[in-house]
Amino acid sequence: MENLLIIRLSSLGDIIHTLPAFSVLRQNFPEARIFWACEKSGREILELVPGLDEIIIWPNNFFRTGLKIRKYKIEIAFDFQGLLKSAFLALASGARKRLGFPRQNLKERLASLFYTQTSAPINEFDHHVIYKNLLLLELVGLKIEWQPENLHFPLSIPREIRKKVKEKLEAAGLVNGRPLIVFNVGASWESKRLPAAFWTEVIKGVRKEFHQDYAFCLLWGNKEELNLARTIQRATDIPVVPFLTIKEVIGLISSSFLLVSGDTFALQAASALRIPVVGLFGPTSPTRNGPIRSHDAAVYASVNCSPCYQRRCSRPHCWESISPQQVTSAIINRIKNHG
Nearest by Cα to 77 from 31, 9, 30: 9
Final residue of a structural domain among 91, 120, 150: 150
Is pLDDT of 160 > 90?
A: yes
Residues 90 and 220 in one domain: no
Residues 34 and 15 in one domain: yes
Residues 263 and 133 in one domain: no
Q: What domain count does the chain have?
A: 2
Is pLDDT of 177 > 90?
A: no
Distance CA(152)–CA(155), nearest Å, equals 9
Final residue of a structural domain among 96, 120, 150: 150
Residues 269 and 212 in one domain: yes
User: What is the pTM assigned to this prediction?
Assistant: 0.95
Distance CA(57)–CA(314), nearest Å, equals 36
Q: What are phi and psi of 297, to 5 degrees?
A: -110, 145
Contact 133, 21 (CB under 8 A): yes
Residues 129 and 181 in one domain: no
pLDDT tens profile 14-42: 999 999 999 999 999 999 999 999 999 99
**Amino acid letter at 103?**
R
Please compute, for residue 179, the number of CA atoms within 13 A of its CA located in the half-sphere on the CB side.
12
Residues 102 and 238 in one domain: no
Q: Which domain holds residue 188?
A: 159-336
Residues 76 and 202 in one domain: no
Residue 172: its pLDDT value, please?
83
CATH number for 141: 3.40.50.2000
Residues 181 and 312 in one domain: yes
Residues 216 and 323 in one domain: yes
Residues 73 and 135 in one domain: yes
Polymer length of the chain? 339
Residue 60: its pLDDT value, please?
63
* Comparison of pLDDT for 187 and 235, the residue scoring more: 235
Question: What Å distances lie between residue 111 and 108, 219, 307, CA to CA?
Answer: 6, 36, 24
Final residue of a structural domain among 98, 125, 150: 150
Strand-pair category, 117-118 with 180-184? unpaired
Question: What Å distances lie between residue 176 and 54, 181, 214, 233, CA to CA?
Answer: 39, 12, 9, 18
Contact 129, 18 (CB under 8 A): no
Q: What are phi and psi of 6, to 5 degrees?
A: -95, 130
Is pLDDT of 72 > 80?
A: yes
Q: Please state whether 237 falls in left (phi above 0), alpha (psi between -120 and 50) or beta.
A: left
Average model confidence (pLDDT) for the chain?
94
Residues 24 and 114 in one domain: yes
Render 216-229 in DSSP notation, one character per residue: EEEE--SHHHHHHH
Residues 123 and 77 in one domain: yes
Sheet hosting strand 117-118, strand order edge to edge: 54-57, 33-38, 3-7, 76-79, 97-100, 117-118
